[in-house]
Structure 1
C-alpha cells in the first residue's frame, strides 16, 4: 500500500506502524553547581533500562541531559563537552545494542574548538544521526555554535525528526521541514523552565506542541527537565502529543508528567495519521512555497 505523506510517497509495507516511545522527566546530578557527568550517565542508564522493562522501542531524554542546561557557568562548557562518538555515547550504544532500543539525549558536542547543543540518536547498530540546535537562545547559550542542518533519522518506523526546545516552539519551519521529508515522529528534546516573569509557560508548552503536531500531522515526543539548576527551575511535564484521529484537535497520548522525575510511555499506531479530517488532509498539497520568499530574506 502507498499513501501520500507530506508531499512524498511512503511505502507503508516496509515500515512498522506500531512504536512504543518513552519520554523522561529528568534531573541531572549536580555536585553543588558542578555537573557530575559520571553519575548523570548512570541515571540515564537506569531510566533507559526501566523503559526497556516497560516495552519501549525509543527513549527520549531532555536537552543537555548529560550536563544540565543552566547548572554550570558558560566557561565550563568546553570541559563538559565530548566528541560524538565519544565516551558517553559509547556507553549508551552498548545498552542500545544489547536491548535493541533507540535512545536520544542532550549533550554538549565538541568539534575542534566549536561546541554544539546536540542530540545523538543512538540505535542498536550505532549512532544513526546527530542533531545540532539550529536556534540557540542568545540570552542563555552564548557558548553554542548554531547547527545548520536537519538530519533525518532513519528507523524501522520511518524517518524521525529532532528539534531542540526553542527550535520547535518558536520556529515552526523546523517540524515542517521534517514533515515534508516524510517524518511521522518528531522529538522535542527540551529544557524549558518556569521563568519568574511568566505564569503561563505550561500553557505555552502544550499549545505550541499541539499546534506543531496538528499542522504537520506528526506525533511529538517531548522530554523536559525537572528540578532546580542554577537560576532556573524546570517544570517537567514530559508528554507524547499528536493529532486526534479524525478530529481537528490534538490528543495527549502519554503524560503530561508532573514536576518530578519519571517516565511517560505510549504505544502509537502510526497508521492513525492516515485518518485525517478534511481541514488537515490537503495542507501539504495546498502549500505555495513560491510565495514564501520573505521567510528566507533574513
Structure 2
C-alpha cells in the first residue's frame, strides 16, 4: 500500500429528518458502493443518521436528537462497522451520541477493523446548544497514509486553531462532516475551506447534507479540495463546490489524491532554520486570554 496515494469518496446526502432506520440503510448503501468502487475512505455529513434541524419549543428530553441518540458503540455503529470490515474502508459520519453526561453532536469513525474513534464537536453554533454538550478533545485517526484530522462544520469554518493543530501534528488530510444550510449564507464555508487548504498546505474532504431537512435547506457542496500546481490557489479534485448550480443534489464524488502534494507549511523551516509557526508564542497568548473574561470559567 502506497503511503501517499489513496482514493476518497465524499457524499452529499439528503437525510430524512427523524427517520433513523431509513437513513442508516442509505448510509450503508453509500459505504457499500464506495467500497465496490475501490475507495479507501468514505465521508458522510454531520448528523446524517437522524437529520439536523432543531425544534426550539420542544423540551430537551423530547427533542428528536434526544429520542434518536445512541451510544457509541451502539446498534447503528455496530451495523456500520460490519460494512467497513466487509469492504475494507474507513468511514466518517455524523450522529447524535448519548453518553452518561449528556448528548453530543458526534462523528463516528470506522476503520477496516470496525469502530475506531469518536469525535465530539468542540464548537457549537445555535441551535445546537439547545440539545448538545461541547466536546473537549481533538481526534487524529491513524491510517496507512498517516494521521487524519477530523472536525465538524463550525469547527472548520470559524476556528482555524483546530485544523492548524492537526497539521502541526502531521495530518495531510482533514475530514469535515458538515451541515451547512442556506440560513448560514453563501460565503463562509467555501471561502474558509479553500483558504485553509492553501494556508496549511493540506487536503480537505468535506461532506454536507443536501436539500430539505425539517425547516432548513442544506447546500450540499461536498467536495475534495487540496494543493494545486500553484501553491497559492486551491484545486478541486472531486465534487461540486458550495453555492454552484446542482451542488445540493444527492450523490457521491470520488477522487484519487496524492498526499505527497501536501506541503504542510506550518512545520517547514525557513531560511533561518526554524518554522514560522510559533506555538510557543501562541500558547502564552492563549493562556493569558484563558484567564480573562469571558473565557475564564
> Could you tell me the TM-score, scaled by structure 1's length?
0.86
SS at 1:106's partner residue? strand
Partner of 1:245: 229
In structure 2, C-alpha distance between the alignment counterparts of 1:18 and 1:262, rounded to whole Å: 23
SS at 1:19's partner residue? strand
How far apart are 1:290 and its partner, in Å? 3.4
Partner of 1:256: 240
In structure 2, C-alpha distance between the alignment counterparts of 1:63 and 1:195, rounded to whole Å: 16
In structure 1, C-alpha distance between the alignment counterparts of 2:180 and 2:43, rounded to whole Å: 15
The answer to whether the Cα contact below 8 Å between 1:243 and 1:249 also exists between their aligned partners in 2 is: yes
Cα distance change on mapping 1:158 and 1:130 into 2, 3 Å: same
Task: Give unmatched runs, 5+ long, in structure 1.
Answer: 1-13
How far apart are 1:147 and its partner, in Å? 0.5
Partner of 1:103: 91
Per-residue deviation, residues 156-212 of structure 1 (Å, max 9, x unmatched): 11101100000000000010111111111101100000118x4xx1x4222100111
SS at 1:220's partner residue? strand
Cα distance change on mapping 1:127 and 1:25 into 2, 3 Å: same
Query: After superposition, where does 1:62-141 map in structure 2 within 5 Å?
Result: 62-70=45-53, 74=60, 75-76=62-63, 77-141=65-129
Query: After superposition, where does 1:154-169 map in structure 2 within 5 Å?
Result: 154-169=142-157
In structure 2, C-alpha distance between the alignment counterparts of 1:246 and 1:194, rounded to whole Å: 31
SS at 2:183's partner residue? coil
Query: After superposition, where does 1:271-282 map in structure 2 within 5 Å?
Result: 271-274=260-263, 282=269
The answer to whether the Cα contact below 8 Å between 1:37 and 1:66 also exists between their aligned partners in 2 is: yes
The answer to whether the Cα contact below 8 Å between 1:245 and 1:273 also exists between their aligned partners in 2 is: no
Q: Aligned pair 1:152/2:140, yes or no?
A: yes
In structure 2, C-alpha distance between the alignment counterparts of 1:282 and 1:70, rounded to whole Å: 45
- Give the ranges of 4+ consecutive aligned residues of structure 1 lying more than 4 Å apart after TM superposition: 71-74, 278-284
SS at 1:105's partner residue? strand
Number of equivalent positions: 275
Per-residue deviation, residues 72-108 of structure 1 (Å, max 9, x unmatched): 6553222111011111111011111111011111001
How far apart are 1:245 and its partner, in Å? 3.5
Query: After superposition, where does 1:1-298 map in structure 2 within 5 Å?
Result: 16-30=3-17, 35-70=18-53, 74=60, 75-76=62-63, 77-195=65-183, 198=185, 201=186, 203-256=187-240, 258-274=247-263, 282=269, 285-292=275-282, 293-296=284-287, 297=289, 298=295
How far apart are 1:282 and its partner, in Å? 4.6
The answer to whether the Cα contact below 8 Å between 1:248 and 1:280 also exists between their aligned partners in 2 is: no
In structure 2, C-alpha distance between the alignment counterparts of 1:266 and 1:119, rounded to whole Å: 22
In structure 2, C-alpha distance between the alignment counterparts of 1:149 and 1:279, rounded to whole Å: 21
The answer to whether the Cα contact below 8 Å between 1:239 and 1:264 also exists between their aligned partners in 2 is: yes
Cα distance change on mapping 1:140 and 1:117 into 2, 3 Å: closer
